[in-house]
Structure 1
Amino acid sequence: MFLNEFYSQKDSSFRFTQQQASRFAKTVANDYNKIHDVDNKRFCVPGDLLFAVSLVKFGLSETMKIDFTGMVKNDTDLAFSPLVENKTEIVNTDQKSFMKLEIGGPSSHDEKIITKIIKEYVQFSGNNFPDIMVPLMRSENLMFNPARALVMYKSMQLNMTRVNVNSITLKFDGAVIDVQGKRATVTFKFDFYEGNDKIGTGQKEMLLSGLIPYEESVMAGVIADYQAAKTKYLAAAS
């Protein structure tokens, strides 16, 4: 499977190098968040990569609920805890939890479909900023502080009516922002289709902390820096 180049597996454990995780963020998810740059002191593995590895391990289930509980650094030995009552966690050797997963219903291990859903989902997920998130923040006259941006992947869930399908595509179905003082939860909704048939729904939640009043010029600078990082990476890769 294409995902093999983005992590290494040894017996029941797996790990990510900075290069693998950063390349996944940029080349698969189209995500140029600086926290996924190999030279960033706050570097962390994309949550979407943890989700992708979970799909490879357990397949696509009719229901999948994920809660992100920690930030994975590079070269950390990880493993899935034993599956008990359809629940498991990604933990390190000290049993620190980084992601909780609950699955239910029938599952599919069709490699073609799993590859497609990984690419469809993470490309959608990586495009949340700036196209979707910025208009939402502007509508509330609030934004994250660029000096110490605290934007965290909180959770996601999938609910499929069937998983034995021949094709699958993802379509965005709107986003909402719920502000609680200096914090906000942004919920991105999406649907899955096989041809013209809707076969599932899902949502992703991001947590924004340390909110400050929205400033158009400041946000324009953040977007410009983001686009510049993307242009630089693509130019170097070509």
Structure 2
Amino acid sequence: MTSTEDSPAALLAPYYRCEQDTVVVSAQQGSGFAKDIAGDHNPIHDVDAPRFCVPGDLLFALIVEHYGLARHMTLTFRGMLRADTPLRFPTAPETAFSIADAAGRDYVGVEFGPRMPAPPAVQRGVIEAYVACSGQTFPDLLQPLLEAHQVMFNPDRPLVVYDSMALAFDRPLTAPPSLSLTQTHLEVSGKRGDARFDFDILEDGQQIGRCWKKMVVSGLRAYSSADMGAVVQRYQARRAAAGV
């Protein structure tokens, strides 16, 4: 991997380290990526969170750094990745492969193909545009869905994590893209909610692809305007403290 100023490698260098043939993300690195690059202030990405989880957006970014872009890319998350877990990225992956730890436990299932050539600056632009959507997830996109369905997560132990994400391109990109929200959806089943956010991928204002993110909201209960209002207020305070 080359590390030019405008490339995925330059963007991601502060947020992981290599140990022999594995990739390792510390809590500090994962938290920094979530807050500084994705604009994601989910408490599960706080350095001192008891259930700290490496951001799925960072794993997506690392996959792009390692393998570039494909016309169709789908990531399915199979577990919460803890800090300092060594990961192996296949050196010659097939169109379907997994990112696993040294013991063989899968954390991300990847469908990837056919490969799509793109300059490093375009690859970086895809990463930045895609992960920035996480800064909108809560409260901007998710809270209205929860209110419409009159459900919410436990305000004392909120748990909102990635289930899957996907991108599809109609043609190769020639410039860094932007994303435009097209629809949101929430499916409730007992105490679990599956939230999906769909976007168009735009180049110079023209649609050239589509992408989506699917989140799992756990521990659903009856919606409380007062409780949700307090959660939103705390979250906005976290954003403000981060200078957002």
Q: Name the TM-score class by shorter chain.
A: over 0.9
Deviates more, 1:223-232 or 1:205-214: 223-232
| Amino acid in structure 1 at the alignment position of 2:30 | A
| Amino acid in structure 1 at the alignment position of 2:143 | V
Q: How does 1:6-25 map to 2 (within 5 A)?
A: 6-25=15-34
> Match for residue 41 of structure 1?
50
Give the one of 58, 63, 67 matched to 1:58.
Answer: 67
Residue 234 (structure 2) pairs with residue 228 (structure 1): no
1:36–1:44 contact (8 Å) kept in structure 2: yes
Deviates more, 1:222-231 or 1:49-58: 222-231
Q: Unaligned stretches of 5+ in structure 1?
A: none
1:61–1:107 contact (8 Å) kept in structure 2: yes
1:60–1:163 contact (8 Å) kept in structure 2: no
> Match for residue 128 of structure 2?
119
Where 1:131 maps in the other structure, the secondary structure is helix
Give the one of 8, 12, 16 matched to 1:3.
Answer: 12
Residue 127 (structure 2) pairs with residue 149 (structure 1): no
Q: How does 1:125-140 map to 2 (within 5 A)?
A: 125-140=134-149
> Match for residue 6 of structure 2?
none
CA spacing shift, 1:53–1:84, aligned 2, 3 Å: closer
Give the one of 207, 210, 217 matched to 2:216.
Answer: 207
CA distance in 1 between counterparts of 2:152 and 2:106 reads 29
> Match for residue 101 of structure 1?
110
TM-score (norm. length: structure 2): 0.91
CA distance in 2 between counterparts of 1:126 and 1:90 reads 25
Moved over 4 A (4+): none
Residue 198 (structure 2) pairs with residue 185 (structure 1): no
Q: How many residues align?
A: 235
Q: Could you give the per-residue CA deviations for residues 166-225 of structure 1, whole angstroms, max 9, x where no partner exists?
A: 231111111011112222111100011111321100111111122111101100111111
Give the one of 102, 106, 110 matched to 2:119.
Answer: 110
Where 1:74 maps in the other structure, the secondary structure is coil
1:187–1:205 contact (8 Å) kept in structure 2: yes
Tell me by how many angstroms 1:85 deviates: 3.6
Q: Could you give the per-residue CA deviations for residues 92-139 of structure 1, whole angstroms, max 9, x where no partner exists?
A: 111111111111123224210111111111111221100110000000
Where 1:148 maps in the other structure, the secondary structure is coil
Deviates more, 1:93-102 or 1:80-89: 80-89
Q: Could you give the per-residue CA deviations for residues 28-53 of structure 1, whole angstroms, max 9, x where no partner exists?
A: 11111111111111111100000000
Where 1:167 maps in the other structure, the secondary structure is coil
Deviates more, 1:152-161 or 1:141-150: 141-150
2:163–2:215 contact (8 Å) kept in structure 1: yes
TM-score (norm. length: structure 1): 0.93
| Amino acid in structure 2 at the alignment position of 1:229 | R
CA spacing shift, 1:80–1:4, aligned 2, 3 Å: same
1:81–1:91 contact (8 Å) kept in structure 2: no
| Amino acid in structure 1 at the alignment position of 2:80 | M
CA spacing shift, 1:167–1:118, aligned 2, 3 Å: closer
CA distance in 2 between counterparts of 1:228 and 1:130 reads 12
Percent identity over paired residues: 36
Where 1:48 maps in the other structure, the secondary structure is helix
| Amino acid in structure 2 at the alignment position of 1:189 | D
> Match for residue 165 of structure 1?
174
